[in-house]
Amino acid sequence: MSWANITYTAGLCIVLATAVTAQPTLTVDLVGGGRSPTLTNNGLVWTISVDPDESRFDTPDSGENAGVRGATTAIDIGFDLGGGNPAVVANKNAANFGTEIPGQSFFGNETPDSLGDIVGVQIGSDPSNVFASLESAYFASDSLVDVSNSFEALTIETAPLSLAVPGVTNTVTITWRGAYDAGGSPGTTHGAVAQTGSFKDQIGVAGSAIYTATPGDADLVGSVSLDDFGQVLFNFGESRNWERGNFDGDELVDLDDFNTVLFNFGEPSGVLTFGGAAASIELLSTPEPSAWAIVVGAVLLAAGVKSRSGTRCIVRSRCC
């Protein structure tokens, strides 16, 4: 087996270019997209995919794929989860990358198999570490719709979003690296991605992605809005999660959560960045006076609800 040169695309935002115009890419993104990601069990889900380079496909002379133009890809990468949101579930996509292959230990806390090899997808004894060493199915060129087919290799679900300090952004990070150098040889800082074909080497990949959610953005649609106030009001006094208005992770949706929405009302949210380059950010205009009137009315309503139980309402505000 020979391996093709690989570069990577982080969330389709950053491409490390070389002299070759078309290359396979590694894509790191959030399920649902960086602007409005989908929460699963109140946590984010990172998806890691590979887009093979059709221009480098070969036609094998023998074997089960003899006469069929295509290629197989492989990954050997480690992922660090930061921002206080470690991995809780990590799964390979068995249809696309079903073969577990020996890889290089990155973290030192992976679990070897009976042969002493580190294989497959593993969450380390430190749950902020995820290891992945997988080989793909044979991707035949006649089965690809176009040259931009990206095949999911694995997904990583993080711990639930929560933040105990209102007014401070909640940041979830993922960094990918490994035990190779930038040229794909044994090293210390890069993961490896490879593709069968006429090329005889592989290139290391390394990078990071950061997702920033503003507390108060319950639905993660890009801003703290009246819809988020609605979630807090509807679930007030109930045991709920982030997407139902509980932003600090305590037992109930309460005035702390309400104050969080008020303090961050109108602020942008849902910024996904790669290596310091913003994937998307939309600056929002100052809420109209009518919106503030609704907010103030909602605050008074919440205060009235709490006052009956003997709890004082403390609402922070800021001048425009």
The pLDDT value given to residue 275: 66
278: pLDDT strictly greater than 90: no
Q: Round the average pLDDT of the chain to a whole number and report it.
A: 74
Q: Does the 9-212 domain belong in CATH 2.60.40.680? A: yes
Paired residues of 39 in beta bridges: none
Q: Which of 87, 91, 71 is nearest to 79 (CA)?
A: 87
Asked whether the beta carbons of 198 and 280 are under 8 A apart, the reply is no
Q: Which of 156, 39, 30 is nearest to 86 (CA)?
A: 156
pTM above 0.75, yes or no: no
The pLDDT value given to residue 119: 95
- Strand ranges for 40-190 from DSSP E: 45-51, 70-71, 73-82, 87-92, 99-100, 102-103, 118-123, 129-135, 139-140, 151-158, 170-177
Q: Tokens representing 192? A: 């490896």
Q: Taking the domains of the chain in order of start, what are their residue ranges?
A: 9-212, 224-267+287-307
The pLDDT value given to residue 175: 92
Between 9 and 32, whose confidence is greater? 32
The pLDDT value given to residue 3: 34
Asked whether the beta carbons of 119 and 101 are under 8 A apart, the reply is yes
